């Protein structure tokens, strides 16, 4: 379907849904959103706008109503202004939001979450598609309907890994839009960070130009290295655009931007992102071993943020070490199992409570796959979208993590929690595992009720 057809209903009826033209005080857009200030919030038909084809989501930010469109928002904005005779305003510059806003204890977390959400929102469909396919494959394998060694299973299994393996490239493209630099060049730089040829030499250090040390590592499925690198790249591209003559801009700017960003990314920014992941993983191990149930609660609480940033990958060596030395792992239950249970029940709660058909559909599908153990779709599709849902998930995950740590719950291998590979939890602590899962879910639902979650 052509883009203009996709947004036809939005373009034709947006003012009606906003309370008519007289209710609109100011109308502009940024990289991914239409931004509207209105006289009377009560006249805005929030649910109807969110259900409109082409709209990825809506939210209130203070007095401003934001309609998330994604790429192509400028074309939609122009069409609306031309259709209804609205004055076209200058696009909002977003790329420096992180540093322009005063970062106080009150604003730093919302600012970073807003930035992260705006980058992740456009790639949600890809994550949901591959996540749901993973869920289907795990189900048919569990029921014995398809041999996991068959060519058919292997083909679709590899298809299901695509969005997660190439996540840095998707993140790079979206971050390029968010930070106002070329999305294609940003995606190219992130592709350089995860080239298989470089990943195969992980742990090897070279001297670029004979003096600049670069240590190769595997950055597939990560988020933070890509975002840091593209944020730096946005400044390089802006600098080149300012000083490179227009006659040679199309040749010189891409070359300098990509190569310099790739060098700085490999030498400094990507390792910082990877170090953060290792630091968090080591901190979780320390919390569990030193603080018992309190540490387990903290582990369960912070896991969604690790998943958002891709830092959960850094836990794999610790889990593998536990499995090889102890014969079981104790980090899986206090992090993944507790938090995944909270996210799964949160999605199903939203399915039952939401009046928005699109939201209900996402809640049901992602809730079921989260029960199996695939939580990226629900995290990026719902949890990051609703702040109260995120808070409830953190609280529920903390409660479940505390129970898991209190009874030192064991898990026998890498798997899909809470129920995808539940057989791996069938040790002497199995019933405590089930208790932890139940506590996570019950506390999450209670938190959603107390917080009075609504579609807004």
pLDDT band at 446 (very low <50, low <70, confident <90, very high): very high
Q: Tell me what pLDDT residue 320 has.
A: 62
Give the residue-averaged pLDDT of 387-395.
Answer: 94
The model's pLDDT over 86-109, given as tens digits with 9 standing for 90+, comes to 877 766 554 444 444 555 555 566
Distance of CA 396 to the CA centre of its chain: 19
User: Looking at beta carbons, which pairs linking 310-313 to residues 24 or more positions away fall under 8 Å?
Assistant: 310/167, 310/221, 310/222, 310/223, 310/224, 310/277, 311/224, 311/276, 311/277, 311/280, 311/281, 312/277, 312/336, 313/221, 313/222, 313/277
The model's pLDDT over 164-176, given as tens digits with 9 standing for 90+, comes to 788 889 989 988 9
Residue 272 is encoded by which pair of tokens?
């910082």
Q: Tell me what pLDDT residue 183 has.
A: 92
Using DSSP's 3-state secondary structure scheme, residue 292 falls into: coil
CB 374 within 8 A of CB 416: yes
| Residue scoring higher pLDDT (424 or 105) | 424
With CA atoms as reference, report the closest residue to 131 among 415, 392, 367: 367
pLDDT band at 313 (very low <50, low <70, confident <90, very high): low
Which of 46-55, 126-135, 165-174, 259-268 shows the lowest mean pLDDT across its residues?
126-135
CA distances from 176 to 190, 226, 280, 377, 428 (A): 11, 10, 27, 22, 50
Which of 32-46, 130-144, 178-192 shows the lowest mean pLDDT across its residues?
130-144
String of DSSP letters for 349-373: HHHHH---HHHHHHHHHHHHHHHHT
The label of the residue with tokens 């730096």 reads: 232
Distance of CA 77 to the CA centre of its chain: 26
The model's pLDDT over 156-214, given as tens digits with 9 standing for 90+, comes to 989 988 887 888 899 899 889 888 899 999 999 999 999 989 988 988 999 999 999 99
With CA atoms as reference, report the closest residue to 386 among 46, 6, 13: 46
| Residue scoring higher pLDDT (317 or 176) | 176
pLDDT band at 317 (very low <50, low <70, confident <90, very high): low
Q: Is the pLDDT of residue 3 over 70?
A: no
| Residue scoring higher pLDDT (293 or 309) | 293
Reduced DSSP (H G I as helix, E B as strand, rest coil) percent helix, strand, coil of the chain, to 5: 70, 5, 25
The model's pLDDT over 209-232, given as tens digits with 9 standing for 90+, comes to 999 999 998 888 777 889 899 999
Distance of CA 313 to the CA centre of its chain: 14
pLDDT band at 335 (very low <50, low <70, confident <90, very high): very high
CA–CA gap between residue 210 and residue 417 (Å, rounded)? 47
Distance of CA 19 to the CA centre of its chain: 33
CB 416 within 8 A of CB 373: yes
Q: Tell me what pLDDT residue 95 has.
A: 42
Q: Is the pLDDT of residue 121 over 70?
A: no
Residue 375 burial (CB < 10 Å; 0-12/13-18/19+)?
buried
Number of neighbouring beta carbons within 10 Å of residue 264: 18
Q: Strand order of the sheet with strand 24-29?
A: 24-29, 33-38, 64-68, 57-61
String of DSSP letters for 153-195: HHHHHHHHHHHHHTHHHHHHHHHHHHTTS-HHHHHHHHHHHT-
Q: Tell me what pLDDT residue 393 has.
A: 96
Give the residue-averaged pLDDT of 266-278.
Answer: 86
CB 400 within 8 A of CB 440: yes
Q: Tell me what pLDDT residue 130 has.
A: 78
Q: Pseudo-torsion of CA 447, 450, 455, 456, nearest 10°?
A: -110
Residue 100 is encoded by which pair of tokens?
């322009």
Q: CB-based contacts of 347: which residues, under 8 Å, 6+ apart?
A: 362, 363, 364, 366, 367, 370, 378, 382
Q: CB-based contacts of 198: which residues, under 8 Å, 6+ apart?
A: 192, 216
Q: Tell me what pLDDT residue 260 has.
A: 96
For 27, list phi and psi in degrees, rounded to 5.
-140, 120
Q: Tell me what pLDDT residue 85 has.
A: 84
Distance of CA 379 to the CA centre of its chain: 7
Q: Is the pLDDT of residue 456 over 70?
A: no
- How does the average pLDDT of the chain come out, rounded? 84
CA–CA gap between residue 27 and residue 33 (Å, rounded)? 11
With CA atoms as reference, report the closest residue to 343 among 450, 224, 443, 221: 443
Give the residue-averaged pLDDT of 265-292.
Answer: 85
Q: Tell me what pLDDT residue 305 has.
A: 86
pLDDT band at 426 (very low <50, low <70, confident <90, very high): confident
Q: CB-based contacts of 136: which residues, under 8 Å, 6+ apart?
A: none
String of DSSP letters for 194-261: T-HHHHTTTT-EEEETTTEEEE----TT-SHHHHHHHHHHHHHHHHHHHHS-HHHHHHHHHHHHHHHH
Number of neighbouring beta carbons within 10 Å of residue 56: 17
CB 49 within 8 A of CB 55: yes
CA–CA gap between residue 315 and residue 337 (Å, rounded)? 14
pLDDT band at 300 (very low <50, low <70, confident <90, very high): very high
Share of the chain above pLDDT 90, in %: 34
CA–CA gap between residue 298 and residue 280 (Å, rounded)? 12
Q: Tell me what pLDDT residue 4 has.
A: 52
The model's pLDDT over 60-81, given as tens digits with 9 standing for 90+, comes to 877 788 888 876 788 888 889 8
Q: Tell me what pLDDT residue 314 has.
A: 65
Give the residue-averaged pLDDT of 359-369.
Answer: 87
Complete domains list, the chain, with CATH: 3-92 (3.30.1360.60), 120-279 (no CATH), 281-450 (no CATH)
CA distances from 173 to 91, 155, 221, 426 (A): 20, 26, 15, 43
């Amino acid at each position: 379907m052509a883009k203009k057809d996709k947004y036809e209903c939005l373009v034709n009826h947006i003012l009606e849904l906003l309370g008519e033209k007289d209710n609109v005080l100011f109308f502009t857009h940024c990289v991914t959103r239409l931004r509207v200030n209105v006289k009377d919030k009560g006249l805005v038909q929030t649910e109807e706008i969110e259900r409109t084809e082409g709209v990825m989501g809506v939210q209130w930010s203070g007095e401003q109503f934001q309609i998330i469109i994604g790429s192509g928002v400028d074309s939609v904005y122009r069409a609306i202004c031309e259709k209804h005779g609205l004055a076209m305003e200058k696009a909002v510059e977003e790329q420096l939001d992180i540093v322009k806003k005063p970062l106080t204890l009150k604003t730093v977390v919302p600012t970073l979450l807003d930035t992260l959400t705006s980058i992740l929102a456009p790639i949600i469909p890809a994550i949901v598609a591959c996540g749901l396919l993973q869920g289907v494959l795990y189900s048919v394998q569990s029921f014995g309907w398809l041999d996991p060694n068959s060519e058919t299973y292997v083909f679709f299994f590899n298809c299901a890994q695509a969005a997660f393996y190439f996540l840095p490239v998707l993140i790079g493209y979206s971050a390029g839009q968010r930070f106002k630099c070329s999305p294609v060049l940003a995606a190219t730089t992130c592709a350089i960070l995860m080239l298989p040829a470089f990943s195969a030499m992980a742990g090897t250090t070279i001297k670029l130009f004979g003096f600049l040390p670069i240590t190769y590592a595997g950055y597939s499925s990560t988020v933070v290295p890509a975002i840091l690198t593209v944020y730096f790249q946005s400044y390089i591209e802006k600098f080149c655009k300012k000083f490179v003559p227009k006659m040679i801009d199309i040749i010189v700017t891409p070359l300098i931007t990509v190569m310099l960003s790739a060098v700085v990314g490999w030498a400094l920014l990507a390792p910082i992102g990877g170090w953060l992941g290792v630091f968090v993983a080591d901190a979780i191990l320390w919390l569990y071993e030193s603080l018992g149930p309190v540490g387990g609660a903290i582990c369960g609480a912070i896991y969604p943020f690790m998943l958002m940033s891709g830092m959960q990958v850094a836990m794999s060596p610790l889990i593998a070490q536990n499995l090889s030395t102890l014969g079981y792992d104790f980090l899986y239950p206090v992090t993944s199992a507790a938090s995944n249970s909270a996210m799964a029940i949160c999605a199903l709660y939203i399915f039952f409570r939401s009046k928005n058909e699109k939201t209900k559909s996402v809640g049901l599908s992602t809730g079921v796959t989260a029960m199996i153990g695939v939580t990226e779709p629900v995290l990026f599709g719902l949890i990051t979208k609703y702040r109260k849902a995120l808070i409830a998930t953190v609280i529920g995950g903390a409660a479940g993590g505390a129970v898991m740590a209190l009874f030192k719950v064991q898990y026998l291998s890498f798997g899909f929690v809470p129920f995808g590979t539940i057989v791996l939890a069938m040790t002497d602590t199995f019933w405590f595992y089930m208790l932890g899962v139940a506590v996570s879910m019950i506390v999450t639902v209670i938190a959603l009720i107390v917080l009075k979650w609504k579609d807004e």
